[in-house]
Amino acid sequence: MTKNSQMLSHPRARQRQRGSSLLLALMIVAILSIVAFAIIQMGSTEADAVGAKRRYDHAVSCSDAARDLLMSQFKAYSVSPTTLTLNQVVDDQLMATGHYDNVAVTSVVAAVGFASGLGGASDVSNRISKAGLGGQVYRMTVVCSSSASLDAATRQSEVEFLVRFGL
């Protein structure tokens, strides 16, 4: 008898081979399942990171808009900048002077340590002469809230900046 004819005559030998191929198929399916799960987890983590970046960019642009809104009031009201208070809702965004959780207060103050002449806080773009700029330097703080209601879940962003105002 040949070897093949012996295997055919013994059904146990054939069943052992079938069991090993089943085991191999189960191992391949398990490995592919683990790889698929890892890819799904990585995609979920990336989506969370993109969402956080989007919320951060929104908060920063909102606080920059609050800064621009406050600076626009310098010319509109012709009053001293230290008396300005910003408390305005724009598209469910609260833009206000102040700090986190302390909004709608006067936060424009004259900055100390800046001379009216050369040096200090000044913009050198489009300036030909070396003459100093006049005016007073002010320090301002604005905060923007992601919701008009200041509850615990509200996302806030604060910007503090210097501006030279006047001649």
In terms of residue numbers, what domain contains 125?
A: 3-165
Q: Give tens-digit pLDDT for 52-74.
A: 888 888 878 888 888 888 878 87
pLDDT in tens, 44-53: 888 888 888 8
Give residue 136's pLDDT band: very low, low, confident or very high (50, 70, 90).
confident
Query: How many separate domains does the chain show?
Result: 1
Strands, E assignment, the chain: 87-90, 93-99, 102-103, 109-110, 136-145, 156-165
Distance CA 39, CA 79 (A): 59
Per-residue pLDDT band for 133 (boundaries 50, 70, 90) equals: low
From the CB of residue 69, how many other CB atoms can be counted at a distance below 10 Å? 17
Phi and psi dihedrals of 58, rounded to 5? -65, -45
pTM to 2 decimal places = 0.56
